[in-house]
Structure 1
């Protein structure tokens, strides 16, 4: 017979954990402002226009396309390609740097401080984008590089903290609520900023100033709301950390090498990680290419595309919560597999969407929103169950680094198929390969065995 007194004694611990979880959610809300307003929508076209102004002088988008090149570290670079090269370089550097950040974080008793430090450095760089004007594209690429690196590093530690503040049976719920709040916050600020940019004349602002103010608001949003998890989460001493000689840097590299060698002892973890790299690459490519597909292939105006972006953001809020509830009843593994099947249906339907048919395009956006937040949120919580104790940040760094290191595969396939066929329809349909490979690999993962191999407690429903 259970002891009621024991349950009563645990109540303060549970209450404290709930408070930390509520604080933890807010970092998704905080960083999503940068991801949506700056990284996804506003920065690329703005920074390209600044670079074109330096290369070619004042450019009219309607009548003239800049054909001059910039000199970057002695290389000739097209202004229109500049942002994409910077993102590629920052992605590669992140893939190399993040595992070391994760190994160091696992050996530290100040995880929330490391997370917040990277967040505030990244948000400062984001705020600095307000100063990018005239022909000063050099400042823009430096700030973009810093912000992207800091975002990735902060997310490694943020994801690792999930394992400390949520018991195995709670992680799906907690991860889903974090993703949901992120989509809601990012969508709200994006809606406000798109209103500022589109209504800049009524506000007495130039288009350039409206974009700069919007980017500044995203940086401030990121910084201010990071205060909530910083104050609400407590630091904890590291656990089960293997002894390594030397100082922190040498210990971190040593721990990373040990982990890479030991990963073969956790085949389920490794298989899931490879599966995630494939299907997440498909997800990211669909997200990145959807506006191009809508404009170039289906002939939609910018207002339709903006409305679709906002629709996806807000539907993803509900989708993340819905998937979290489903996971509690039928298991995370099965729900992710079901979500990937829906992703495959999305790309099949996209192939047949008639041009200029707004209702079907919006219905497709609703489908994307429903599965986008849910599959990403549950992937994070499911992976957390497969990580050996004491190596959370390090494994999540491999999760982030692997994602970044392979994120070019989907866009490469998309570009190649379009080049071969001169159509975006078969290009987007080709992405079904990534979801199919992801499903086949994920189906091979035995969740219960993988969790037990990692030495973790198996949730009631997996």
Structure 2
């Protein structure tokens, strides 16, 4: 296959690719977006000596001798996991490009992440350190699996089809995440008891475990339906795949200078996606700690987000077919700014306005991410999909680090989640400006690819 020919793929194969989004979105939604932040924060507060169910806690924990506010522990964990992925994900991408079969890599990373997620069932009492270690393993494995998964996209769709295929994958992912979240919502509403904070904590723990099981079970479908698409015969090299992956990564880093416009787009994406991922990963903590909303309210809101994001991804995909992916993403970033400013002014305990805000997020979230993924696929030199998506994934799907770090620092300095959330405005403004400056059509041609008719 060359850069100017459309790849041969079947409908069954594309459906299998969509279903990995369905599988791994359980981790994004049930774990990252809803349960893990409040759950691990509560466990950390118990370790800091706070009472279970206390409205406020200013206690501190001391992992590795560091003094950390209990409320900052989870944002710092997100940042730490991403610092580690800076090294792991590009190497995983280089390995994916060197092997003739990518599906075993997809299986290994997906099952490692799902096992670590399910093991959070053992995080009881004040075992916040165990919870942190398992989260880091699961988050890195999650990112590594998505690197391999994304590298299939250029093999499944031609230049003019990728926005549609990518949007369908994101849409099905939000639908799958929403279905599991709905089941967890039913469990929480049915089994919870007013005033029994321990039962609420246990329900959150087992909801996280269910995401690990869901992730592993539905990964079997893409492993069965996807086909391998080697771009060239694999050359035998000395050393194992890991050391070879590091060597290949070095070649890629040196070669990136030949594609400055691809780097320019990647920089823009890293900035604005940091803001998106921080809002996603810390929204439930903001609702719990600052707005003092009930767990059931948060779950209902995220459920609204999930199902509206299914339609929103398809809607923005259709808009991109008329005005181009770049213009559509710029409009979505403007709407994200409205969301942040509205979140800052939300009154405490106001469930309905919080749900309305979630509806707005759902309409722009999936489309902005899906179209970013498909735009980047146009800027990758043929045969380098894994390596380049390794860099891309550093800031994708809950693995951003600058945003959570800024949020955690602002909270530690001000003890205000509201100031922390509004500080994220800078990521959307700066990222949007950078994206507007990227000449996408020229960047696609510079990467040796055929540009779509509308971009």
What is the deviation of 1:317? 1.0
Q: Which residue of 1 aligns with 2:218?
A: 225
1:200 Cα offset (Å):
2.0
Residues 366-385 of structure 1 mapped to structure 2, 5 A cutoff: 366-385=359-378
1:167 matched to 2:129? no
CA drift of 1:306 comes to: 3.0
Counting matched residue pairs gives 448
1:169 is paired with a residue of what secondary structure?
coil
Q: Quote the residue 1:125 is aligned against.
A: 116
How far residue 181 of structure 1 moved from its aligned partner, in angstroms, is 1.1
Q: Using the TM superposition, give the Cα deviation of residue 362 of structure 1 relative to its aligned residue in structure 2, in angstroms.
A: 3.4
* 1:396 is aligned to 2:389: yes
Note the residue ranges of structure 2 that are not aligned, 5 or more in a row: none
Residue 7 of structure 1 corresponds to none
Which of 52, 66, 72 is the equivalent residue of 1:60? 52
Q: Distance in 1 between matches of 2:211 and 2:406?
A: 32
Separation in 2, partners of 1:125, 1:422: 32
Query: Which residues in structure 2 correspond to 1:137-156 (within 5 Å)?
Result: 137-156=128-147
Aligned counterpart, 2:91: 100
TM-score, normalisation: structure 2: 0.87
In 2, are the aligned partners of 1:240 and 1:389 still within 8 Å (CA)? no
2:442 alignment counterpart: 449
1:371–1:360 CA distance, 2 compared to 1 (3 A): same
1:193 equivalent to 2:181? Answer: no
Q: Which moved more, 1:238-247 or 1:159-168?
A: 238-247
- Runs of 4+ with deviation above 6 angstroms: 240-245, 418-422
CA distance in 1, matches of 2:291, 2:15: 42
Q: Which has the higher contact order (CA 8 A, sep 6+)?
A: 2
Q: 1:370: how far off?
A: 0.8
Q: Look at both structures and tell me which one has the larger radius of gyration over its CA atoms.
A: 1
Where does residue 16 of structure 2 map in the other structure?
A: 23
CA distance in structure 2 between the aligned counterparts of 1:399 and 1:246, rounded to whole angstroms: 27
Aligned to 2:454, the other structure's residue is in SS state coil
**C-alpha spacing 1:156/1:298, structure 2 compared with 1 (3 Å):** same
* Shift in CA distance, 410/210, structure 1 to aligned 2, threshold 3 Å: closer
Aligned-partner Cα distance in 2 for 1:316–1:147: 24
- Which position in structure 2 is the counterpart of 1:6? none
**Does the C-alpha gap of structure 1 residues 416 and 134 become closer, same or farther in structure 2, counting only changes over 3 Å?**
closer
- Residue 321 (structure 1) aligns with: 314
Q: Which residue of 2 aligns with 1:251?
A: 244
Summarize deviations over 1:150-180 as a string: whole Å, max 9, x none: 1111011101111111222111111111111
How far off is 1:120 after superposition? 0.9
Greater Cα offset, 444-453 or 280-289? 280-289
8 Å contact from structure 1 (residues 339, 375) kept in 2: yes
Distance in 1 between the 2:340 and 2:251 partners? Answer: 40
From 64, 80, 98, the counterpart of 1:89 = 80
In structure 1, what is the equivalent of residue 105 of structure 2? 114
**Among residues 150, 170, 177, which one is paired with 2:168 in the alignment?**
177
